[in-house]
Amino acid sequence: MGKGLKCLALCALIVVTALSLQGCWDQQEVERLGIVLTTAIDLAPDGRVMLTVQVVNPKSLVGGGVGGVGGVGGGVGGARGFRNVSVEGSTIFDCIRLLSLESPRELYFAHNMAIMISEEFARNRGIEEIMDFFERNPQIRRNNYVLIARSDISSILETPGELVPPPSQVIASTIRQQRLSSYYPDVQLGDFLETLETEGSDAYAAGIQVEPNEAEVRDKISGSSSLLDGRPKPIGAIIKIGGTAVFKGNKMAGWLDERESRGLLWVKGRVKGGVITVPCISGEGGVEGPRFSLEIIRNASKIQPELTEGELGVTVRVDIQANILEAECPEELDKPEVIASIEQLLATAVQGEVEDALTKAQREYKADVFGFGTVFHRKYPVVWKEIKENWIDIYPGLPVYIEVNAVITRTGLVNKPAQVRR
């Protein structure tokens, strides 16, 4: 072999060796990692940060535990599928380093699914400073759900027990079904950060809490609850996600209930589904009387800022499509005039939810979660420069005009209710 060929072969060997080593220098063995599923922040008694992380129990990964997903469940011999660890510190990163004193594994956040903030922390200390950690950390994905805890964080992360999937997985699975009700916003970290950083908008996030299991409560009242070791079985708890935490600037201002939350989502064009009921055309029976149940198929919205002779205003147009799923009313659904009347009732119901949300967020909390300031900033940038310093005073009295266009696309296979057919 010639000298040139030997040199070429040596260079090729060096390149191949370097490529084979590339990307392996910082690899971490999974058994040495503490895989974090949920990160929760609370206010410590001395005003510092209390960090709680829910970490997968490696023992539960062996043999596919009871009721788990991918083996993260009851574990071998009923081993608990998760472990909650808490520590207090000056900052989140300070807490993480303090956790290393009591954790044999390095915390790994790439599989984190939810960021939970206590209501006390959100109201009293604010969120911008803690959001900085999540924005900078390369392991934290921007599709993490942001939640505000209405119950004690430890009670949420300990629910529902040992022989079921970790609460972190229950929370994530529940949020994925948000489209079935649209009673709360499914806000992800990326959306939350973007809203915080957008001029003329206030942030919002879903609420989470622990409630008694109503089925077990009824069993206990009726005396039919099962026994555990000869004693009455304690009433279990369930995790419920619902409502909306509204922020004003850096701190939480208050709550929207489930109906008001959907009113907010109508304006944002983010109602993905759910059911809305309207009374019969005759209006007989009142609120508790027979009703139509309509399935929400589509929602779109447009926020139009207006500047007329120096006066500011906003027109919100909401478009909705729905199907009739259930009819307790005697109206015959094959008549166009009946469908038109139901569409009007639907538009009125949607407008009512929007007005309730506006009353609470705009007038009571004075929090611009609708982003009206942002649309003014985009359409009238020169005017916005003049008013942005006073927007906090202008916004609560801003006239908002609501236009709802409701269309029913399908009535189902039955045009005449049973009582009409009889």
Residue 171 and residue 220 in contact, taking contact as beta carbons nearer than 8 Å: no
Q: Please state, in angstroms and rounded to a whole number, the distance separating the CA atoms of residues 133 and 109.
A: 12
Of 234, 256, 278, the residue that ends a domain is: 256
Q: What is the pLDDT of residue 211?
A: 86
Q: Flag whether 21 is in a domain.
A: no
Give yes or no: residues 78 and 110 share one domain. yes
Q: Which residues constitute the domain of residue 67?
A: 31-256
Q: Flag whether 82 is in a domain.
A: yes
Mean pLDDT across the stretch 350-357?
98
Residue 81 CA neighbour count, 13 Å, CB half: 29
- C-alpha distances out from residue 155 to 138, 144, 236, 406, Å: 29, 21, 12, 42
Q: Please state, in angstroms and rounded to a whole number, the distance separating the CA atoms of residues 119 and 191.
A: 20
For the ranges 76-90, 192-206, 363-377, 380-394, the lowest mean pLDDT is seen at 76-90
In terms of DSSP bridges, do strands 227-228 and 82-89 run parallel, antiparallel, or are they unpaired? unpaired
pLDDT band at 415 (very low <50, low <70, confident <90, very high): low
Give yes or no: residues 62 and 186 share one domain. yes
CA 153 to chain centre: 16
265 three-class SS:
helix
Q: Flag whether 314 is in a domain.
A: yes
Of 235, 256, 277, the residue that ends a domain is: 256
Of 201, 223, 256, the residue that ends a domain is: 256
Q: What is the pLDDT of residue 416?
A: 64
Q: Please state, in angstroms and rounded to a whole number, the distance separating the CA atoms of residues 200 and 369.
A: 9
Give yes or no: residues 217 and 68 share one domain. yes
- C-alpha distances out from residue 174 to 93, 114, 180, 258, Å: 29, 12, 10, 15
Give yes or no: residues 188 and 277 share one domain. no
The residue that leads in pLDDT, 33 or 132, is: 132
Q: Flag whether 421 is in a domain.
A: yes
Q: Flag whether 58 is in a domain.
A: yes
Give yes or no: residues 90 and 183 share one domain. yes
For the ranges 160-164, 263-267, 411-415, the lowest mean pLDDT is seen at 160-164
| Chain segment 6-56, per-residue pLDDT in tens | 555 555 555 545 545 454 434 555 567 889 999 999 999 888 999 999 998
| Chain segment 210-265, per-residue pLDDT in tens | 988 765 555 555 555 454 444 554 556 789 999 999 999 999 999 999 999 999 99
Give yes or no: residues 197 and 77 share one domain. yes
Mean pLDDT across the stretch 266-295?
87
The CATH number given to whatever domain includes residue 280 is 3.30.300.210
Give yes or no: residues 285 and 238 share one domain. no
Inform me whether the pLDDT recorded for 168 exceeds 80: yes
Q: What is the pLDDT of residue 2?
A: 61
Q: What is the pLDDT of residue 315?
A: 98
Give yes or no: residues 35 and 164 share one domain. yes
Give yes or no: residues 221 and 94 share one domain. yes
Task: Spell out the residues 6+ positions from residue 325 whose beta carbon is closer than 8 angstroms to its own.
Answer: 275, 293, 294, 295, 412
For the ranges 7-11, 181-185, 246-250, 350-354, the lowest mean pLDDT is seen at 7-11
Give yes or no: residues 273 and 248 share one domain. no
Q: At what angle do helices 336-358 and 258-268 cross, to 10 degrees?
A: 100
Q: Flag whether 26 is in a domain.
A: no
Residue 372 and residue 314 in contact, taking contact as beta carbons nearer than 8 Å: yes
The pair of three-digit structure tokens given for residue 121, joined into one six-digit string: 């922390």
Give yes or no: residues 205 and 291 share one domain. no
Mean pLDDT across the stretch 187-202?
95
Residue 331 and residue 415 in contact, taking contact as beta carbons nearer than 8 Å: no
Mean pLDDT across the stretch 182-205?
95
Q: Exposed/middle/buried for 55, CB within 10 Å: 0-12, 13-18, 19+?
A: buried
Give yes or no: residues 197 and 323 share one domain. no
Which string of DSSP letters, residue by residue, matches 365-420?
S---TT-HHHHHHHH-HHHHHHHGGGHHHHGGG--EEEEEEEEEEE--S-SS-HHH
| Chain segment 69-123, per-residue pLDDT in tens | 334 444 444 557 788 999 999 999 999 999 888 777 888 999 999 999 999 999 9
Q: Flag whether 210 is in a domain.
A: yes
> To the nearest whole number, what is the mean pLDDT of the chain?
84
Phi then psi for residue 188, to 5 deg, are -100, 165
Overall number of domains in the chain:
2
Short-list 264, 294, 268, 301, CA closest to 183: 264
Q: Flag whether 12 is in a domain.
A: no
249 three-class SS:
coil
Q: What is the pLDDT of residue 73?
A: 46
The residue that leads in pLDDT, 11 or 414, is: 414
pLDDT above 70 as % of the chain: 77
